[in-house]
Chain A
Amino acid sequence: MNKLFAAAVFATVAFGAAANAASLSGAGATFPAPVYAKWAEEYKAKTGNALNYQAIGSGGGIKQITANTVDFGASDMPLKPDVLAQDGLQQFPTVIGGVVPVMNLPGIKPGDVKITGPILADIYRGIRKFWDDPVIASYNKGVKLPHLPITVVHRSDGSGTTFLFTSYLSMNAAHWASGPGANVSVNWPVGIGGKGNDGVAAFVKQTPGAIGYVEYAYAKQNHMTYALMRNKSGRWVAPTAEAFAAAAAGAKWGAAPGYYLLLLDQPGANAWPISGATFILMHSKQANAQTGHDVLAFFDWSYKNGNPAAETLDYVPLPEGVKSLIRKSWLKITGPDGQPVYK
Chain B
Amino acid sequence: MSTAEISAADPAPRRLASARGSGLEPVFHAACFMAATTLLAALGGVLVALAIGGWPAIAKFGVGFLTNVTWDPVQDVYGAAGPIVGTLITSALALLFALPVAGGVAFFLVELCPPALRRPIGTAVELLAGIPSIVYGMWGLFVFAPMFAKWVEIPAMAAAPADSIWSTLVQGIPNGSGILAASIILAIMILPFMAATLRELLHTVPAQVRESAYGLGATTGEVVMKVTLPYVRRGAIGAVMLGLGRALGETMAVTFIIGNSHDFPKGLFDAGSTIASTIANEFNEASGMQQSALIALGLVLFLITFIVLALARLLLRNQARL
Contacts and interface: CB of A to CB of B under 8 A. Distances in A.
Contacts of A126: none
B260 A193 contact: yes
A195 B257 CA distance: 9
A255 interface: no
B70 interface: yes
Nearest to B141: A202
A319 interface: no
A342 B175 CA distance: 54
Interface string A59-98: 1100100000000000000000000000000000000000
A194 interface: yes
Interface of A: 1, 56-60, 63, 151, 156-159, 180-188, 191-195, 199, 202-203, 206-207, 210
Size band of the interface chain B makes with A: 35 or more
Contacts of A157: 280-282, 284-285
Contacts of A188: 261
A151 B71 contact: no
Interface stretch (B18-26, B72-80, B121-129, B185-193): B72-80
Contacts of A199: 141, 256
Contacts of B75: 181, 187
Contacts of B282: 157-158, 185
Q: Interface on chain A toward B: helix, strand, loop, or mixed SS?
A: loop
B149 A206 contact: yes
Interface of B: 49, 52-53, 70-75, 141-142, 145-146, 149, 173-178, 255-256, 259-262, 271, 273, 277, 280-287
A59 B72 contact: no
Nearest to B78: A187
B173 A192 contact: yes
9 contacts: A1-B49, A56-B284, A60-B285, A158-B281, A183-B73, A187-B72, A193-B259, A203-B175, A207-B174
A2 B312 CA distance: 36
Nearest to A157: B281
A184 B285 contact: yes
B152 to A, nearest CB: 14
B145 A206 contact: yes
Nearest to B283: A158
Contacts of A192: 173, 175, 177-178, 259-261, 271
